[in-house]
Amino acid sequence: EEYKIVIYQNDEFLIATEALEMYAYSTYYEIDFSTGTVSTPQDIKVTKTYDYFSEILNLIVRIILTLVIELGLFFLFRLYSKRNFKVVLITNLVTQIFLNVAINIALYNSGYMDALFLLFALEFLVLIIEFIAYQILLKEKKRWIIILYPIIANALSFGLGLFIFRFIF
């Protein structure tokens, strides 16, 4: 939780920073030596450099990809009506924002393994929520389509999520 950055040159200790603390599970710092002289720990400028922009961009991309998959299947299942479209869109926006923000928070605070465990648990919860919402709100004569749609849509988006998680992290 607390550490110092130690600088060596030719296997000889030069200097160490003042104590630093972890601010995230994956903590990033940038060190600036532009002052030219480094004789005390105060001469070393250390800046937190966690890439919040990239994390927010990844969050948005994950949500958009999920919406594309699940809405694409919505049309393949021929569930289209304005009312059904609104139900699926709003339900997915709510569940995917909840899921992806929770995963980002877990990644930030606890790391990949906790986030992956949470992903499995929350994907199951999202499936249940969407299944219930669609059973109540979607208008379709063939009930088996409304039973099958959230299962396939969530399995596909979950698979993509695992793929992205595996290759991006």
> What integer pLDDT is reported at residue 165 of this predicted model?
62
pLDDT at 118 over 80: yes
- Own/partner pairs for 111-117, CB < 8 Å, 24+ apart? 111/25, 111/26, 112/169, 115/165, 116/165
Task: Assign 49 to helix, strand or coil.
Answer: coil
Choice among 32-46, 111-125, 136-150 with the minimum mean pLDDT: 32-46
* Residue 62 CB-half CA count within 13 A: 26
Q: What are phi and psi of 139, to 5 degrees?
A: -105, 110
Q: What is the pTM of this model?
A: 0.76
Q: Taking a C-beta distance cutoff of 8 angstroms, is the pair 97, 63 a contact? A: yes
